[in-house]
Structure 1
Amino acid sequence: MTPQTIRVACSNCNLRELCMPMGLSESDIGRLDDLVATRRKIKRGAALFSNGDRFNALYAIRTGFFKTCVATADGRDQVTGFQMAGEIIGLDGIVADRHSCDAVALEDAEVCVMPYDRIEELSREVPALQSHVHKIMSREIVREHGVMLLLGSMRAEERLAAFLLNLVQRLHARGFSQSELVLRMTREEIGSYLGLKLETVSRTFSKFAEEGIVEVKQRHVRILDTEALRAIVNAPACA
């Protein structure tokens, strides 16, 4: 890939504001373009990286959808997150120089590969980049706390409502509808992430549909009453 095509990939990318620092000078933007060593296409069902792989890069998702998961002691896959275009993936590898989870494409995807040693080098020259990487790490910590809250104290309806609201909010930031989405993950994968059985996820979707909160057609979900979903999440706990 020539430097010019990399420049087109970054400077003019419509996802730039989601995965690159804001308010940079033209010269700094030009230097950040050089972060992208290459792009990789990942087929649906294939792993971008696996648990135990040596860590050497972060990945900006250009197109597609991923799940991260870890194998439990009894051999099951526990889904730990879902990532979409404009988000950075691979932060788990920084601590021990090896990845601690699998990142699997839920549909055909493309990522921009950003070698981590190059990120560290440029961070010293472009302070906004260092700040941006810290913000991304902080966002991951906040997300993990949110998941712990979901799994620790919420009923099934609250978990699924919070999941749908979060998903549609992230998609809306990428220019998609505020009320319609296509679920790239299976009901089983949603259940794994939310700590719910498959039957519970299906039953809760049906309950939401019966109450006129959502309309569900296979993987297509239309949110009919956003306020009702918010009310479910914010419902006071029973004494």
Structure 2
Amino acid sequence: MYAEPACDSSMPVPAPMRWPVITLQPAVREAAPRRAASRCSTCSLRAVCMPADLTSTELQQLDTVVLTTRNVRRGEALFRTHDAFQSLYAVRTGSFKTVVMHRDGREQVTGFQIPGEPLGLDGVCGGTHNCDAIALEDSTVCIIPFGQFETLCRESRRMQRHLYQLMSGEIVRESSLMMLLGTMTAEQRLATFLLDLAARFRTRGYSGAQFNLKMSREEIGCFLGIKLETVSRMFSRFHRDGLVEPSGKQIRIVDSEGLARV
């Protein structure tokens, strides 16, 4: 099966890293209400967000940097394209999608983030964000002021290595996305997406066999570069072949090995 255009368009999907750099410094967006964060040293997601081998001193230093969290309601933006970059974020609860806009106003989904995953690394390069980060459900993020985090990284080789790993992870993710969009069939794209999401949930201690998809079928198609109708057809085919059991937004992976062979 040939690859179909993303979001009902024949235009090629642009790589997020190629978004034009804006040289004018924009005004800082008005900050949303913040509240005190749970300490990183006692957070159940710390092993996912941060290095597992931090010393007690490094944990104390981290607790002085990550002091606040922010609630983001479903459909609201954590940040938008061209906003001034000030902080990194770690998803604490809920989930997000990152989006870039085509010049004609169409949106291209570039990723989905679940608890324990970072947001905001796109702003490190040019000092402004290159995408919108939109909450897929009522969510909470931990706010990591980048200037203080840089200072901590200079004092801790473990944290410095962790920052490098985060940035490298973004490069690997984008390379994988380009391979997925450029070389895989529609069936393979959806199968890979489901298996990747399952693996990410397992890493966080959740079930990798049964989970809810917080994103819509249309958003999945926009991310994978296939039409909504094709996404629905592929889910039906996977169900018919005994690979998955979809029930609304809930997905149960019945045969992960078979899904990997698609």
State the TM-score, normalizing by the size of structure 2: 0.85
- Matched AA of 2:155: E
Runs of 4+ in structure 1 off by over 3 angstroms are: 5-8
**Deviations along 1:21-53, whole A, 9 cap, x unmatched?**
121111111001111131100000000000010
Q: Which amino acid aligns with 1:173?
A: T
Aligned 8 A contact 1:6 1:34 in 2:
no
- What is the CA deviation profile of residues 96-130 of structure 1, one whole-angstrom value per residue up to 9, with x for unaligned ones? 10000000000000011010000111111111111
Q: Which runs of 5+ in 2 are unaligned?
A: 1-34
Whether 1:107 aligns to 2:167 is no
**Is 1:69 the counterpart of 2:107 in the alignment?**
no
Amino acid at match of 2:63: D
Match of 1:192 in 2: 222
3-state SS of the aligned residue for 1:34? helix
The answer for the alignment partner of 2:49 in structure 1 is 19
* Paired position in structure 1 for 2:175: 145
Residue number in structure 1 paired with 2:26: none
Paired position in structure 2 for 1:211? 241
CA offset at residue 9 of structure 1?
A: 2.5
Is the Cα–Cα contact under 8 Å of residues 37 and 115 in structure 1 kept in the other structure? Answer: no
* Percent of matched pairs sharing the same residue: 50
| Distance across 1 between alignment mates of 2:39 and 2:111 | 26
Kept in 2, the 8 Å contact 1:64–1:84? The answer is yes
| Inter-partner Cα distance in structure 2 for 1:183 and 1:97 | 32
SS across alignment from 1:59? strand
Rounded Cα–Cα distance in structure 1 between residues aligned with 2:134 and 2:38: 27
In structure 1, what is the equivalent of residue 212 of structure 2? 182
Deviation at 1:178, TM superposition (A): 2.1
Pairs aligned (count): 228
- 2:186 is matched with which residue: 124, 145, 156? 156
Deviations 1:188-214 (A, max 9, x none): 000000000000000000000011110
Shift of 1:6: 6.1
Letter in 2 for 1:63: T
* 1:8 Cα offset (Å): 4.2
**Is 1:87–2:117 an aligned residue pair?**
yes
Give the Cα separation in 1 of the matches to 2:37 and 2:158.
Answer: 19
What SS does structure 1 have at the residue aligned with 2:261?
A: helix
Partner amino acid for 1:97?
A: G
2:188 counterpart of 1:167: no
CA distance in 2, matches of 1:213, 1:68: 28
Q: Specify the SS of the correspondent of 1:161.
A: helix
Tell me, yes or no, if the aligned pair for 1:42 and 1:48 is still in contact at 8 Å. yes
Letter matched to residue 39 of structure 1: T
Give the root-mean-square deviation of aligned CA atoms.
1.2
Kindly provide the amino acid, as one letter, of the partner of residue 255 in structure 2: D
State yes or no: 1:231 paired with 2:261: yes
TM-score of the two chains, using structure 1 as the length reference: 0.93
What whole-Å deviation, never above 9, does each CA across 1:68-103 have from its counterpart, x for those lacking one? 000012211100000010011100000110000000
Partner of 1:41: 71
Asked if the contact 2:39–2:67 (Cα under 8 Å) also holds between the matched residues in 1, the reply is no
Asked if the contact 2:37–2:69 (Cα under 8 Å) also holds between the matched residues in 1, the reply is no
Q: What is the CA–CA distance in structure 1 between the aligned matches of 2:207 and 2:152, rounded to whole Å? A: 36
